[in-house]
Chains A and B, each alone.
Chain A
Amino acid sequence: MTTREKSWKEIAPAGVCSKSSIGFLTGDWKTYMPVRDLEKCTRCLLCVLFCPDGAIRWKPEKGDIEFDYNYCKGCGICANECPTKAITMKLEQE
């Protein structure tokens, strides 16, 4: 399905952006993806803070963190910084 792009009459002036980047999924950029060993993870939350893309989130209601692979670019910072080496970068299948 193709959506018609807006004409000059329909867009806001001065380039006022009309969409949040939350709608732009960068997850397909990655080659490697972070995989977490739940036993080793101490929920220190450093990965949540250091991720350049905010792709790891702390979910207080779950008492645990969550990886959002829709945005993760596979940089490996989380794995490199994890104090207990709970995260490993694995080649993304398919």
Chain B
Amino acid sequence: MTEEWKFTTKDIAEKPDLFLSGHRACAGCGPATVLRLIMKATRGPTIVTEATGCMEVVSSIYPYTSWATPWLHTAFENAAANASGIEAALKIMKKKGRIKQEHVDVIALAGDGGTYDIGIQALSGAVERGHDFLFVLYDNEAYMNTGIQRSGGTPLGAATTTSPAGTVMPGKLEPKKPIAEIMVAHEMPYVATASPYYWRDLLSKVRKGLEVNGPAFLHVFAPCPRGWRSDPAKSIEYSKLAVESCVFPLWEAVNGQCQLSTPSKLIALAPQKKKPVKDYLQGQGRFRHLLTPQNQKLLEEIQRLTDERWQRLLKKCQTT
């Protein structure tokens, strides 16, 4: 493994943005901050390919582009297949002496739509084939670009336009698909979760993912004030609360060996620091219905499921 990347806040602040201002994301967009930070962690020549979704649309409204790197979008379900083709082309062209760069990093970006659901086939295939690329999932927990429809990444109880909180059904009845665990089960070199509030952790993980020789998967929590009906000023704060309440724990798996990242490790060591799920949910319009007496049971179920998944993670991370 290469030497750990050391950086100061000033280093990162000074590095020119590769995801440029002037994009059309909503005010307070979590994914936009995530993308800016990810691009700060690049280490050299990079090609980015993206699935259809919020970040793709806001950054490439012809004739304008917010990308200072080469960038390709083709369709919704195939960011990982794009990356496979780009990586293979670079590999063979280098062999044939047609590429001047020593190495080019390939990053595939997709939202929860293009990863959990329609994108999972291409992702799973690309990882199984061992292509050298980093897949970053920016998770805003619904198909936001088309109007807040539920995805496999929408959490239990959340109201979306296709899982509304109605009189008979209180939001999404299915739990959030454990996508990062699914990727760990692929026995791939590197899987990690990250959250933009913990930006240092996020940057190091992006860099680690790029350094891996083979496929790497990074699941980044990315609050959407529009879709979550939350205060745009609080997008980064929610990305902190999600970790503090263990709704979105931070960990990484290097060659399948799981270990907690510092923010979540601190909670494991001092369980009294773990915040109740309610602290995280309240203030988000998509969970408002859970605070009524008739949905008390569902709120309890969400807490129970969060705790169960947290305990499972702790057990997995114990053997390090």
Q: Do chains A and B touch in the complex (CB under 8 A)?
A: yes
- Which A residues fall within an 8 A CB radius of B? 15, 17-26, 29-30, 44-46, 48-55, 57-58, 60, 68, 71, 73-77, 79-81, 89
Given contacts A50-B33, A60-B14, contact A74 B27 (CB under 8 A): yes
Enumerate chain A residues within 8 angstroms of B63, measured Cβ to Cβ: 17-19
Name the one of A19, A20, A49, A80 contacting B233, with C-beta atoms under 8 angstroms: A80
Which residue of chain A lies nearest to B239 when distances are taken between CB atoms in the complex?
A50
B36→A54 contact, CB < 8 A: yes
Closest 4 CB pairs of A and B: A76-B233, A21-B22, A75-B28, A52-B32
B21→A68 contact, CB < 8 A: yes
By the criterion of a CB under 8 Å from any partner CB, how many residues of chain B are at the interface?
40
Q: Shortest distance in angstroms between B250's beta carbon and chain A's nearest beta carbon?
A: 17
- Which B residues fall within an 8 A CB radius of A? 9-10, 12-14, 17, 19-30, 32-33, 36-37, 59-60, 62-66, 68, 196, 199, 225, 231-237
19 A/B residue pairs, CB under 8 Å, sorted by A: A19-B63, A22-B22, A24-B22, A26-B21, A44-B9, A48-B13, A49-B33, A50-B33, A53-B23, A54-B20, A58-B10, A68-B21, A71-B21, A71-B22, A73-B27, A73-B28, A75-B232, A77-B28, A77-B33
Q: Shortest distance in angstroms between B201's beta carbon and chain A's nearest beta carbon?
A: 13
B20→A21 contact, CB < 8 A: yes
**Cα separation A52 to B225 with both chains bound (whole Å):** 12
Enumerate chain B residues within 8 angstroms of A54, measured Cβ to Cβ: 17, 19-21, 36
A45→B28 contact, CB < 8 A: no
Q: Shortest distance in angstroms between A84's beta carbon and chain B's nearest beta carbon?
A: 15
Q: Shortest distance in angstroms between B255's beta carbon and chain A's nearest beta carbon?
A: 30
Enumerate chain A residues within 8 angstroms of B30, measured Cβ to Cβ: 52
**Cα separation A80 to B26 with both chains bound (whole Å):** 17
Give me 16 other A-B pairs in contact (C-beta within 8 A), A52-B32, A54-B21, A73-B27 excluded: A18-B63, A20-B22, A20-B68, A21-B21, A21-B66, A24-B24, A24-B64, A26-B24, A44-B9, A46-B9, A49-B12, A49-B13, A49-B199, A50-B33, A75-B225, A76-B231
Enumerate chain B residues within 8 angstroms of A73, measured Cβ to Cβ: 26-28
**Cα separation A54 to B68 with both chains bound (whole Å):** 14
Which residue of chain A lies nearest to B232 when distances are taken between CB atoms in the complex?
A75
A81→B14 contact, CB < 8 A: no
Given contacts A19-B64, A80-B233, A80-B236, contact A26 B9 (CB under 8 A): no
A80→B234 contact, CB < 8 A: yes
A22→B21 contact, CB < 8 A: yes
Q: Shortest distance in angstroms between A37's beta carbon and chain B's nearest beta carbon?
A: 17
Enumerate chain B residues within 8 angstroms of A25, measured Cβ to Cβ: 22
